[in-house]
Amino acid sequence: MNEAYLDLESVEVELDEELLDEIDEKAFVEHRDNRDAAIRDLLDEWLKQRDGD
């Protein structure tokens, strides 16, 4: 993992409408409609999957 970006306080990503719908569905079902929690969860899943490859 490139550690050069670990000191960043925030990042900006661009999401398409389909992915936003999936995030909202996950937020509603698994996180009591908390979109931020759903995004953190999906990011964690993505990082674990990426590190496993």
pLDDT tens, position by position, 23-45: 999 999 999 999 999 989 988 99
How does pLDDT run across 8-20, given as a tens digit for each residue? 788 788 989 999 9
Burial class (CB in 10 A: 0-12, 13-18, 19+), 53: exposed
Amino acid at site 16: D
Q: Please give the pLDDT value at position 35.
A: 92
Residues with Cβ within 8 Å of 15's Cβ and at least 6 positions away in sequence, in order, are 23
